[in-house]
């Protein structure tokens, strides 16, 4: 599994038709970059965008390729097969893999994996009721390394009109987190915040995602990256607390003990261990 994709907290979309933005995206602080051949590219520009991408990707360093995904066009579109043929060559050069939109069946995901080769990592986007119905199958498909939630397309698919807090999507977010846990995948990736200039909205969306158990978020502007990274990363105080818990547990050979007036038992110790892992 590509550790860059598995451990990333921020995934920044960049239109594949705008190669002049690639370097800025890679230097934005985003843990992973998604070069988008799907929604960000108009139909009459898709072939040109794919060709530009094929020309630019060989110029990426190995480290850059390892944290780069390409969002392909969905199965059933006229661009899907050509996207796969182009990407198969790039995966052999070190590209992490593909984000797969409109993911609705394990068989379609397996076909993408076979086309790209065994080294390609897949991040399926759950964007429809059909995708939600198959979420456990999607999570258990070979080469899938994380699930992602396309909450805007999901609302469109069901004719939903969600409020700012998106309480209407509570059960869907829980389903993605639970499916990831059952499949042994890293925590899933939550959807975008479209209000790129609204820091309060971004913070609220990110805190909601973290509260549900998501481990990352999709970004559509470099200005969103820093706040997302900080929200999903333990603070210095969190790390210090976790270090003290782990050291205390080791000294007592895992037995429950009291620290700062609170009981520390196995669930607390495991939380501290996870905190230290997230801190790197």
Binding-site residues for substrate sit at 71, 127
Query: b vs e for 47-77, b when ≥16 Cβ sit within 10 Å of the residue's Cβ?
Result: eebbebbeebbeebeeebbbbbbbbbbbbeb
How many beta carbons lie within 10 A of that of residue 167, not counting itself? 10
Q: How far is residue 189's CA from residue 170's CA, in Å, rounded to a whole number?
A: 15
Strand partners, 240: none
Residue 10 has which token pair?
A: 């921020």
Q: Are 227 and 260 in contact (CB under 8 A)?
A: no
Strand partners, 257: 264
Strand partners, 190: 217
Q: How far is residue 276's CA from residue 280's CA, in Å, rounded to a whole number?
A: 7
- Binding-site members are 71, 127, 153
- Binding-site members for Mg(2+) are 127, 153
User: Which residues, including other chains, have CB under 8 Å from residue 56's CB and lie 6 or more apart?
Assistant: 19, 22
């Amino acid at each position: 599994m590509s550790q860059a994709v598995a451990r990333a907290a921020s995934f920044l979309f960049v239109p594949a038709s705008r190669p002049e933005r690639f370097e800025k995206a890679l230097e934005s602080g985003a843990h992973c970059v998604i070069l988008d051949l799907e929604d960000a590219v108009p139909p009459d520009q898709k072939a040109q965008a794919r060709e530009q991408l094929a020309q630019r990707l060989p110029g990426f360093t190995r480290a850059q390729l390892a944290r780069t995904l390409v969002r392909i066009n969905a199965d059933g579109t006229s661009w899907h097969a050509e996207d796969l043929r182009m990407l198969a060559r790039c995966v052999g050069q070190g590209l992490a893999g593909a984000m797969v939109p409109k993911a609705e069946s394990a068989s379609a995901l397996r076909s993408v994996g076979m086309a790209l080769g065994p080294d390609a990592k897949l991040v399926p986007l759950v964007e429809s009721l059909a995708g939600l119905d198959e979420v456990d199958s999607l999570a258990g498909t070979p080469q899938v390394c994380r699930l992602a939630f396309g909450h805007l397309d999901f609302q469109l698919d069901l004719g939903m009109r969600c409020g700012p807090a998106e309480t209407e999507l509570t059960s869907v977010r829980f389903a993605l987190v639970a499916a990831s846990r059952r499949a042994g995948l890293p925590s899933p990736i939550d959807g975008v915040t479209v209000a790129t200039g609204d820091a309060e909205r971004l913070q609220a969306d990110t805190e909601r995602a973290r509260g549900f158990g998501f481990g990352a978020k999709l970004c559509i502007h470099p200005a969103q990256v820093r706040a997302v990274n900080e929200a999903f990363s333990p603070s210095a105080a969190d790390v210090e607390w976790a270090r003290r818990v782990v050291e205390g547990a080791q000294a007592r050979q895992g037995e429950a003990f009291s620290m700062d007036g609170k009981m520390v038992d196995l669930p607390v110790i495991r939380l501290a261990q996870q905190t230290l892992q997230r801190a790197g």
